[in-house]
Every structure is written in structure tokens, then in C-alpha cells.
């Protein structure tokens, strides 16, 4: 992803500086985890985020390229645990652990109010 104005902390509301917002970096990590298993979870299923813990160790400015990766490190029934990270052209900007759960799309959406 190329960091755009709408990804910046001062636009997201997580800070007042023109740098990549931590919530945007974490969303990229979540997306990487979702995409890592989407073809392996069965038709009619999806994954939903349950928990994420992450560091954000270095700022990234407007126009820079950021890439997130996810590695599945544990499976416990429907619970999937990932090691996640994000990098820009200079290297690592954040890392952590993310838990997702496999859900039936139909059953999950039936619970939405």
C-alpha cells in the first residue's frame, strides 16, 4: 500500500502527525492474515479478528510503500494464530500477534443487529 492522506494519523484521529496511523498498519496486518488462509477455510466460511497485539516501532510518511505479512503459527479448532509484521522501504515498522476465528458467513451475519 502507498501511504495516502487518509492513512495518516492526523486524518484517522489516532494522532496529530502526518505519519501512517497505527490503526491503519494494524488493519493491514489483519488483512494479510485473512488473505493468508482465505483459500483454505472452506466455501461459505470467513475469518474474523478476535485479538491483535502489535508494536509500532518506526514512523512512515506520506507516499511511502508499506507491506504487511502474516504467518500462521498455530491452529486450535476454529482459532488461528498468526505472527504479523509490517515493513516500509527502510525495513520493519511494526510486528505482533493476531488471532482470527473461522466462522460460517451465514451464521455470523445472522447475528448482526
Q: Which of 30, 47, 60, 98 is catalytic?
A: 30
Is 30 an annotated catalytic residue? Answer: yes
Instruction: At 48, give phi and psi (nearest 5°).
Output: -125, 145
Report d(CA 48, CA 101) in Å as an integer: 5
Q: Which of 22, 47, 60, 98 is catalytic?
A: 22
Is 69 an annotated catalytic residue? Answer: no
Q: Which of 7, 47, 56, 98 is catalytic?
A: 56
Residues 6+ apart with CB under 8 A from 4: 62
Q: Which residues are known to be catalytic?
A: 22, 30, 56
Amino acid at each position: 500500500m502507498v501511504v495516502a492522506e487518509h492513512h495518516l494519523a492526523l486524518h484517522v484521529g489516532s494522532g496529530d502527525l502526518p505519519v501512517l496511523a497505527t490503526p491503519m498498519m494494524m488493519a493491514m496486518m489483519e488483512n494479510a492474515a485473512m488473505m493468508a488462509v482465505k483459500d483454505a477455510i472452506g466455501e461459505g466460511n470467513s475469518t474474523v479478528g478476535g485479538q491483535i497485539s502489535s508494536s509500532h516501532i518506526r514512523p512512515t510518511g506520506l507516499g511511502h510503500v508499506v507491506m504487511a505479512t502474516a504467518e500462521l503459527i498455530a491452529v486450535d479448532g476454529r482459532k488461528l494464530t498468526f505472527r504479523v509484521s509490517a515493513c516500509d522501504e527502510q525495513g520493519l515498522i511494526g510486528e505482533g500477534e493476531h488471532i482470527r476465528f473461522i466462522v460460517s458467513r451465514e451464521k455470523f451475519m445472522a447475528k448482526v443487529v
